Structure 1
Amino acid sequence: MTSTAEAPVAAPAGRTAAAPSRKASRRGLAKAGVLLRRTVALAAFLAVWELAPRAGLVDRIFLPPVSEIAPALWDLAGSGRLWQDAEASLVRSLSGFGLSIAVAVPLGLLIGWYRPVAELLNPLLELFRNTAAIALLPVFVLILGIGETSKVAIVLYACTWPILLNTISAVGTVDPTLVKSARSLGLSAPRIFQKVILPAAVPTVFTGIRLAGATAVLVVIVAEMVGAKEGLGFLINSSQQNFAIDDMYAGIIAISALGLLFNHLLVLVERRFTRWRAPVR
């Protein structure tokens, strides 16, 4: 007696081998599309910058084309001056930025978790959070001098506020259901803080840290313009005073590249500490 059931048809070997290659090609095309979308705006901006001075839409003396600024940037890098100034600015900004994290994150967690501390310090925080760091730069210079201490201190002051305020907000906006669930399981207050509050607060804290990273670069540039013998801010200011316009724009481009690199590193660190989060599509 013959069976009426048909044997399953085996898929051709070539078809199974082609499936992974198709997926890989699709992923490659997707990455290429993302890269294209991210660079098209920058390419358009550089094209406008190159063509506007050549077409006479802006004064070429005050806004040279990009093709004329690139050699100046190369010459500054080749002479070593660009690296020396970038190193000075980076050391100042990183010093103040690191100190602000060490001060603002623990203080923000304390204020957000303990209501008596928040009630005690909130009036003082409201007073100083609305005072621009640049407005206090002359005060820092008068008290701490024109050396490195005043520049690191002004960066520390400016970076503290975005980190502190975001940390306080992160602790205050934790889902109360999570805290109640942890208490119902018999966890003590320190354990709730460690297992519930801290993980939930990390993304918002890193938002403040990234804002502070951008602030650190901007504030140190302004401080170097006021009084410094080296640094990217000093390079831009001295080039403007000596009418070396190409060098001035080269310094500005270097600052932009430094800020992008700084932000990218912070994004990588944030991903490292928030791997438990579901990816947002």
Structure 2
Amino acid sequence: MTARSREHLDITDLTVTHTTGGGDVRAVDGVSLTVAPGEALVLLGESGSGKSTLARTVLGLPGRGARVRGRVRLSGTDLLTLGERDLSDVRGRRIGYVPQDPDAGLDPLRKVGAQLTEVLLRHRVSETRRAARRIAPALLEEAGITEAARVAASYPHQLSGGQRQRTVIALALACAPGLLIADEPTTALDALVRARILNLFAGLLTERGIALLLVTHDIGVARRLGDRVAVMHAGRIIETGPVEKLLSSPHHPYAAALVAAQPGGPR
């Protein structure tokens, strides 16, 4: 996977509002943050804090009926002003996305190699289907998959959980995007596979200089990969700082309680 342009994410006063039977709910409430090339920003918080909504809004997928205000700029391009066709080009080519559930990112009726081939053709990384088919196994290998040819010829249900997670990472990185958004990428993986996935992300940061927005509730993952951490609660960013400093001595009471409640909390 060859490095492409380096992307800088700049979110300013982002608010995402959903209308429910009980009234309007601000899933994201006035959030501002940045992620620079080669930097990992960890978005840390409990389930329901707004982390995933923020991540999907960057991708132009805030949810049906959502009202979005603010700015989301990717190296100067305001993503909130783009139409669906332009956003579709940005997703995959400039932004890669690793969903929390790998099955949500895979078509169960198509073989893995065919899905990678389609991504390469869709974003014009390969000019011909034959060329894309040759590249697909190499992408799987670079995502840490052994027996890449066999995996490429398999359907998702024929793969282990770790193989499926690595496959969605290969899909996310197929077009060498400059920004990677990973939403709880190690959930439900065993310790060995989890460590390998985190090592893969660490390599991407140092070798390719990607910008990484990592959504997690896991303090250990934050310590392993993060440069900075932003703690999110009730749609707001309540504290931001360097990972080791914030996780060792958080100032906000909620951040302190969140960190203290988890293994790997304050040292």
TM-score past 0.5 threshold? no
State the TM-score, normalized to the length of structure 1: 0.22
Q: More strand by proportion, 1 or 2?
A: 2
State the TM-score, normalized to the length of structure 2: 0.23
Larger Rg: 1
Higher relative contact order (CA 8 A, sep 6+): 2
Q: More helix by proportion, 1 or 2?
A: 1
